[in-house]
Amino acid sequence: MTAPTLASPPAGFAPVRLLGRSVLAGLRKVGSVAAFAGRGVIAVVSPPWFPGRLLRQLAAIGYFSLPVVGLTAVFTGAALALNIYTGGGRFNAEQVMPQIVALGITRELGPVLAALMLAGRVSAAIAAELGAMRATEQIDAMQTLSTDPFRYLVAPRLLAGVLVLPLLTAVADLLGVAGGWLVATRVLDFNPTVYIRNTMDFLQVGDVGTGLIKAAVFGFLVTLMGCYHGYNAKGGARGVGRATTHAVVSASVLVFAADYLLTSLFAHT
């Protein structure tokens, strides 16, 4: 007596199976990232710590990112001032341009642009470095020597990102407003003193604080994606290239998603 055979599902179920596989794969990826982030946070808050590694990452992530973040902020502030002045002219509202530039830079553009610059520069570099270490079995050698790679490699980078990006955002805020001031006073004939007074009278501590809180979250996400994709890189040199690409893309997408969620949260508080 032959065993009964299971009938194959109708052809119409193929898209459903494909959708199910995609959803399950996405959930597995989310769970993997969450578990990695949890191990990283535990490594940050519990000893042993490596202060030398942290100082090195503070310099690599923060100091060497100042030029690109500063230039981006200056030109963004200048372009924003021109666009707001042009748009406000349609409603005879050109004089509110200083306030809108300051608000847009401090609450939104400052932290987001600084995070995106770090995603392109830092997240890719972290993924390439850790991916190369994974490909050359240096991470496996650390585990063999009883050195936790999370405490030595991941934790300093995560902590440095959280600490440094708010500082970079503060610089971006200052330079972005300065870029708007330069265009307003040199091109649009605004009075320099009145421009600064309007900006200072309008801005509130909460506006700047909101941007800095966003920046701390973005710094964690950017370094997390670099560490995650580099640590889990597979396939030699080609795998390192894929890890670098995935780190930049995922970090950028998460920055935008987190920005929306945080903006919604702060809008109701």
Q: Is 12 part of any domain?
A: no
pLDDT at residue 114 in the model: 93
- Total tally of structural domains belonging to the chain: 1
Cα–Cα distance between 261 and 108 in angstroms, integer? 12
Q: Is 244 part of any domain?
A: yes
- Of the chain, the end-to-end C-alpha distance in Å amounts to 71
Contact partners, residue 122, CB within 8 Å, separation at least 6:
60, 61, 65, 161, 222, 223, 226
163: burial class by Cβ within 10 Å (0-12, 13-18, 19+)? middle
Q: Is 63 part of any domain?
A: yes
Q: Is 98 part of any domain?
A: yes
Domain that holds residue 231: 53-267
- CA dihedral 129→130→132→135, nearest 10 degrees, is 180
pLDDT at residue 4 in the model: 57
Q: Is 198 part of any domain?
A: yes
Q: Is 34 part of any domain?
A: no
158-180: per-residue pLDDT in tens?
A: 999 999 999 999 999 999 999 99
Low-confidence ranges of the chain (pLDDT < 70): 1-13, 268-269
Q: Is 27 part of any domain?
A: no
Q: In this structure, are residues 147 and 88 in contact, taking their beta carbons and an 8 Å threshold? A: no
pLDDT at residue 19 in the model: 79
Contact partners, residue 75, CB within 8 Å, separation at least 6:
179
- CA dihedral 198→202→203→205, nearest 10 degrees, is 130
pLDDT at residue 70 in the model: 92
Of the candidates 72, 104, 75, the one whose C-alpha atom is nearest the C-alpha of residue 88 is 104
DSSP string, 67-125: HHHHHHHHHHHHHHHHHHHHHHHTTT-GGGHHHHHHHHIIIIIHHHHHHHHHIIIIIHH
pLDDT at residue 5 in the model: 56
Q: Is 6 part of any domain?
A: no
